[in-house]
Amino acid sequence: MLNFDYHIPTKIFFGKGQLAKLGPEMKKYGDSVLLVYGGGSIKRTGLYDQVVEMLRQNGISWQELPGVDPNPRVESVRAGAAICKEHSLQMVLAVGGGSSIDCAKYVAAAAHYDGDAWDLCIDKSKIKQVLPVFSVLTLSATGSEMDCGGVITNLATYEKIGGGVADQRPKASVLDPSYTFTVPASQTAAGTADIMSHTMETYFNRTPGTYFQDRVAESILKTCIHYGPIALREPENYEARANLMWASSWAINGFLSDGKANVWTVHPIEHELSAFYDITHGVGLAILTPRWMRHVLNEDTVSKFVDFGVNVWGISADQAPYDIANQAIERTEAFFFEEMKMPSTLTQLGIGDENFERMAKKVRKTALEDGFVKLTWQDVVEIYKACL
């Protein structure tokens, strides 16, 4: 286990009706806020009304940044920062999924920056000061509600960049599982794949001696495998939504990666897919993951896949390591593509091989060189091709 500093000060108000606790918490930081949200589903569900009523009751004035895209654009960040500056807003509140929260985190940073917001995505050392960020979560997926990261897309440059600093971590987040009852099946599936991928990015790792973190990672994977299909069948199953929601935060808040030399691989490979084709992030992850697994399964990594098979999928340990590993990968495929009913190929999404080389060459070097298994851009092309 490597040395690490652990510090996750975000307050979580978890459960039904916990929104009421957010106002008094926000008042400790200010009395004006930018409300950041997406395509308007929060207006249809009535959550928007609840949030503005909560702000009103607590004497918090607000401006709005609606229309944040599923892969949030730097244009939204620029627009939000401009509103914050114009009205001297003191806080940023995202109501939505990871896209709104990610956008809010960069708005909060850009509100204190004189140059172009994209600078902060490219170089986080330029983030010097950040408005306090809060969130009301409506989708279990990115874990943005409890971590300090965000991913912003620049369609002009075909770039999708993830990053963040400690101050971008939300001061408080409301996790009310009932807000996810209306999440459609396809998004529930994509969100679950995202949670699992966050977990696997650190689980498939070669730092020795991280037994405890690895067992907790398996707990998150088992939670997704257990409750994902239930949430699909019974969208208003509180227990399923609650477990997925809490697991989503822990998959990526930092706990799992503490003590590990931790470089993600599958996310960066997927980011190029989303940047080029604007597909749903979780769908791209689900399609890539089993292909990546087959590509990196070898003598050095098989023991990790055995752990994965035995501890996560309950495969009998009384078999040859490669048999267990291959069954584990097959179970992963069956889970995503059968149980969770997700698209299983890029072809199904209308994506051909025309940009694979270009995309593969854009994947950041460290993700390929320092990940679980060292890859070249040619490996990435092979993985993309296996997804057709």
CB 42 within 8 A of CB 56: no
Tell me how far apart the alpha carbons of residues 121 and 127 are, in angstroms, rounded to a whole number: 9
Is the Cβ of residue 7 or residue 365 nearer to its own copies in the bound state? 7
Query: Site map for its own copies, 240-269, x if CB under 8 A?
Result: --xx--xx--x-------xx----------
CB 121 within 8 A of CB 74: yes
Three-class DSSP category at 377: helix
Phi, psi of 287 (to 5 degrees): -65, -40
Cβ 123 to its own copies, closest distance in Å?
A: 26
Task: Provide, rounded to whole angstroms, the least separation between the CB of residue 62 and its own copies.
Answer: 24
Q: Which is nearer to its own copies, 9 or 115 (CB)?
A: 9
Instruction: Of 361, 170, 363, 168, give the one whose Cα is nearest residue 263.
Output: 363
d(C-alpha 139, C-alpha 213), whole Å:
25
The binding track of 6-45 with respect to its own copies, each residue x by CB under 8 A or -, is xxxxxxxxxxxxx--x------------------------
**Closer to its own copies at the Cβ: 166 or 320?**
166
For its own copies, give the closer residue by CB, 38 or 177.
177
CB of 128 to its own copies, least distance (A): 19
Can residue 388 be called a binding residue for its own copies (CB under 8 A)?
no
State residue 94 phi and psi, 5-degree precision.
-95, 135
**Ranges within 98-157 binding its own copies (CB under 8 A):** none
Report 265-304 residues binding its own copies (CB under 8 A): none
Tokens of 379: 């490996």
Q: What is the dihedral of CA 58, 60, 65, 70, to 10 degrees?
A: -30
How many positions of this chain bind its own copies (CB under 8 A)? 41
- Contact residue for its own copies among 61, 211, 233, 370 (CB under 8 A): 211
Nearest distance, CB of residue 379 and its own copies, angstroms: 31
Q: Please say which residue, 82 or 216, places its beta carbon nearer to its own copies.
A: 216
Q: Is the dihedral of CA 331, 337, 340, 341 positive or negative?
A: negative
Which residues have a Cβ under 8 Å from the Cβ of 296 and sit 6 or more positions away? 204, 372, 373, 375
Sign of CA pseudo-dihedral 202, 155, 286, 293: negative
How far apart CA 374 and CA 35 sit, in angstroms, is 42
Contact 114, 150 (CB under 8 A): no
Q: How far is the CB of 211 from its own copies (least distance, A)?
A: 5
Q: Does 4 bind its own copies (CB under 8 A)?
A: yes
Tell me which stretch binds its own copies (CB under 8 A): 3-11, 123-131, 275-283, 371-379: 3-11
Amino acid at 40: G
CB of 262 to its own copies, least distance (A): 15
Rule CB under 8 A: say whether 334 interacts with its own copies.
Answer: no
The neighbour count for residue 318, using CB atoms within 10 Å, is: 7
The contact pattern for its own copies, residues 215-244, with x = CB under 8 A and - = no contact, is xx-xxx-xx--xx----------xx--xx-
**Phi, psi angles (nearest 5°) of residue 6:** -110, 130
Residue nearer to its own copies on the CB measure, 245 or 351: 245
Report the C-alpha gap between 123 and 103 in whole angstroms.
16
Q: Nearest CA to 251 among 231, 275, 223, 227?
A: 223
CB of 70 or CB of 254, closer to its own copies: 254
Q: Which is nearer to its own copies, 10 or 100 (CB)?
A: 10
- Looking at the Cβ atoms of 6 and 114, the one nearer to its own copies is 6
Binding residues vs its own copies (CB under 8 A) = 1-18, 21, 208-209, 211-212, 215-216, 218-220, 222-223, 226-227, 238-239, 242-243, 246-247, 250, 258-259
